Structure 1
Amino acid sequence: MFLVTVTYTAPLDEVDRWRPAHGDWLSDLISRRLLLVAGRQVPLVGGVYLAPRMPAEELDHLLATDPYVLNGVATHAVVEFTPLLVATGLEDLKLQE
Structure 2
Amino acid sequence: MFIINLTYKTELEKIDQFLNEHIEFLNEQYKLGHFLASGRKIPRTGGVILSNIKSKSELEKIIEKDPFKKHELASYELTEFVPSKTCDELKFLME
Q: TM-score range by the shorter chain?
A: over 0.9
Q: Paired residue for 1:37?
A: 37
Distance, in Å, in 1 between the alignment partners of 2:81 and 2:40 is 21
Q: Paired residue for 1:64?
A: 64
Q: Paired residue for 2:49?
A: 49
Find runs of 4+ consecutive structure 1 residues off by over 4 angstroms: none
Q: Please say if 1:91 is aligned against 2:73.
A: no
Aligned length: 95
Q: Paired residue for 1:28?
A: 28
CA contact (8 A) 2:53 2:59 kept: no
What is the CA distance between 1:75 and its match in structure 2?
1.2
Which residues of structure 1 form unaligned runs of 5+?
A: none
SS in 2 for 1:68: helix
Q: Please say if 1:18 is aligned against 2:18.
A: yes
Distance, in Å, in 1 between the alignment partners of 2:90 and 2:48 is 19
Q: CA RMSD in A?
A: 0.8
Which residues of structure 2 form unaligned runs of 5+?
A: none
